[in-house]
Amino acid sequence: MKQWLESAAYLPRDLRDFHNQKDLFKAMHDTVSVDSHSIAGHIDWVQGQCYVIDVFLWFMAQHGYTLQRSSAKVDFRDLAETVTTSQQARNASVASIFARTATGERDADQA
């Protein structure tokens, strides 16, 4: 069991990579109103990632439970598309900051 846990084989394939985990948790915080949740609003994406991946799912795996895709016949949202859309929005935001800086524009609060 120790080798299985250390290999992260208990996680869905897309969550075994740390960078994929980061992208997923960033996307979740971008698309869900986490900030307005009375309890979870105090948890950022980093804390959420660490708790869910490193604590909760690891603990559950020790007891024989794994996270898996539902087989229900429902039109689910595409996870990869959600993550990609979130990444593109963040990238566009950063690009606009660099573009304003390059053209000498300043934010109103800095003026």
Token pair of 10 as six digits:
């208990």
- SS3 of 12, please? coil
The answer on pLDDT for 44 being more than 70 is: yes
Q: Which of 39, 18, 43 is nearest to 29 (CA)?
A: 43
> CA 36, CA 33: separation in Å to the nearest integer?
6
pTM of the model: 0.77
List, as own/partner pairs, every contact residues 29-38 make where C-beta atoms lie below 8 angstroms and the sequence separation is at least 24, other chains included: 30/86, 30/89, 30/90, 31/82, 31/86
The residues near 25 (Cβ < 8 Å, ≥ 6 apart) are 45, 46, 48, 49, 52
- Where residue 101 falls among pLDDT bands split at 50, 70, 90? confident
User: For residue 39, which phi and psi values (nearest 5 degrees)?
Assistant: -110, -50
DSSP state, 43? -
CB-based contact 6:63 (threshold 8 Å): no
> CA 93, CA 31: separation in Å to the nearest integer?
15
pLDDT tens per residue, range 62-100: 999 999 999 999 999 999 999 999 999 988 888 888 777
Token pair of 23 as six digits:
């992208």
